Each structure stands twice: as structure tokens, then as C-alpha cells.
Chain A
Amino acid sequence: MINVLYFARLREQLDTESEQLDIAAGSTLADVLTMLRSRGGVWADTFAEDQLIMMAVNQEMTEIDAAVSEGDEVAFFPPVTGG
């Protein structure tokens, strides 16, 4: 299981703050995204290939090819706008 968090616009569009997901050994963020897209509807739209999505594993910003392992905290969010 991994814990997946959604923030800001994504959290609102998906109407989900967080969830637990089962992943196969050797998964990457790309696999998680494929799983989420396969739900269709707003999930497919939010994570469509042309959407600019930032991602983090265990609270470190990373790229789509990053490995994900059991117990990880994964987060998806729009480009940041602080400051």
C-alpha cells in the first residue's frame, strides 16, 4: 500500500484529499498515474498527458520515472504558486 495525497486544484477536481493504493513491486509514478487515469472521468481528465502535474515521493519533488515502494507517501499537485 502507498498513501497518495492530492493538493489544491487537483484535490478539488478529484474531490479526494488522500487514499491508499495497492501497487505492484517495481512500480514507478508512471504506473500509479496509469492506474489513476484508468478510472476514467475526472481522473482521466485531471491526469491527461497534456496536464502539468508536479509529483513528490516521501515529500521530495521528483519526476515521473521515480520508483515507488510499499509504505511511500506519494503526492500529486499543480505547479506551486507560493511566495
Chain B
Amino acid sequence: MNYIAVQKEPFDIAAEQNALRADNPGIGAVVTFAGLMRDMNEGDQVSSMTLEHYPGMTEKALAEIVEEADQRWDLLGIRVIHRVGELNPMDPIVLVAVASAHRGEAFRACEFVIDYLKTRAPFWKKEKTPEGERWVDARHSDDEAEQRWQR
């Protein structure tokens, strides 16, 4: 079962993994990526962050990414949760959990989903530093990570 959520509320990583594999004895592997908020970026201390998104399009973009992962690999469930609003250092920001019968498919699909999410889902981070607020710039390395999956 696939599940996608864009939410303000924090999530519990273990609880999400359990929900993903509940009631399916065919699942032999769960691979989870959890993205966390760091207290440093570009050499500056970051005290908090606000995540903005494009309601409607965000959910659609995530659904398309999940569907593509399902088409590419033999999976038994994908769970994507992304938080929006105010975040503090150490907070989980995003969770991508993928279940499959064997580990290889889940590992690859998990990395694919987060790589695509980074460049295709409309979220924007604004961070608070001692010098004031600033929008986070997109990273070239994220584009390269996405391009590895193009075919």
C-alpha cells in the first residue's frame, strides 16, 4: 500500500516503518531514508527553518514519483511523508520508506524517490541564521543525483 502525506505534524520514523509493513508477510525488506534538519548550512548556524510548498501540485508531484518507482521496481509499498511549516534542528523533515520482497529493489527505489523528490516536488526552505532569514539555494549535486536515474 502506498501512502503520501504533506503535513505540519512531526512523524515517528519507527511507527511509519511499522505501518508500511503491517499485515504483509511477503515483505522481506524495508529501506527507509529519513531527512533531518541540521543546525548548520553553508557554514552558518541555523536556528530554525520554514518549509513552504505548492498545495495540490506537491501531492501530485509526489504521487507521480511514487508511481514511477512502482513501475521501475517490484515493490510492496512506498510511504512518503514530507513536513511543511516551522522546523527545528534535529526534526525529521522527510521520510521515504520502501518495502519489497528482497533488499535490492527497496534500496534502489528509496534512493530514486528521494532524488526525484529533491528536484521535482515543489517545496522551498527558508532558514533563520544569526544574520537573518534566507531562502536556501538549490544544489547542483541534487540535479546530478536525479540525472543518474534518467534513461
Query: B-contacting residues of A (Cβ < 8 Å)?
Result: 5, 7-9, 52, 56, 59-61, 75, 77-83
Contacts and interface: CB of A to CB of B under 8 A. Distances in A.
22 contacts: A5-B54, A7-B52, A8-B52, A8-B126, A8-B135, A52-B138, A56-B57, A59-B54, A60-B57, A60-B60, A77-B122, A78-B135, A78-B138, A79-B119, A79-B138, A80-B120, A80-B121, A81-B135, A81-B136, A82-B82, A83-B93, A83-B123
Lowest 5 CB-CB distances: which A-B pairs, in order? Answer: A82-B123, A79-B138, A8-B124, A59-B57, A83-B118
Contacts of A81: 123-125, 135-139
Interface string B41-75: 00000000001111011001100000000000000
A57 B54 CA distance: 13
Interface of B: 35, 51-54, 56-57, 60-61, 82, 93-94, 114, 117-126, 135-139, 142
Contacts of B138: 52, 78-81
A61 B56 CA distance: 13
Given A82-B51, A83-B121, 10 more contacts: A56-B54, A60-B57, A61-B61, A79-B138, A80-B118, A81-B137, A82-B82, A82-B93, A82-B122, A83-B123
A10 to B, nearest CB: 10
Contacts of A9: 124, 135
Contact of A82 (B56, B60, B117, B137): B117
A5 B57 CA distance: 12
Nearest to B135: A9
A80 B121 CA distance: 7
A7 B50 CA distance: 13
B124 A80 contact: yes
A74 to B, nearest CB: 11
A80 B114 CA distance: 13
Nearest to B94: A83
A42 B125 CA distance: 22
Nearest to B123: A82
